[in-house]
Amino acid sequence: MDVRRVKQILSSSADIEVKYNGASVWIDKLNEDGRTATVHLRGPLEERSEVEIAELKEL
């Protein structure tokens, strides 16, 4: 995924499915470095992780 698409997803009110390493995640924010984003797993666990946006996949 690229920075432009991450920004579009963040500003969208739609439920856009994104996967990271096969797990469905929510993108919380694009980090200042422009290469990573903070995400958390969909579901009851709210554990947040910083991941490379290149590794995010939109379904």
What pTM was computed for the model?
0.88
Q: For residues 39 and 31, what is the distance between their CA atoms, to the nearest angstrom?
A: 10
Whole-number pLDDT of residue 46: 77
Structure confidence by residue, pLDDT tens digits, 1-59: 999 999 999 999 999 999 999 999 999 999 999 999 999 998 887 789 999 999 999 99
**Measured CA distances, 2 to 41, 46, 47, 54, 57 (Å):** 20, 24, 23, 6, 10
Q: What is the pLDDT of residue 36?
A: 98
Domain boundaries, the chain: 3-58
Fold that domain 3-58 belongs to in CATH = SH3 type barrels. (2.30.30)
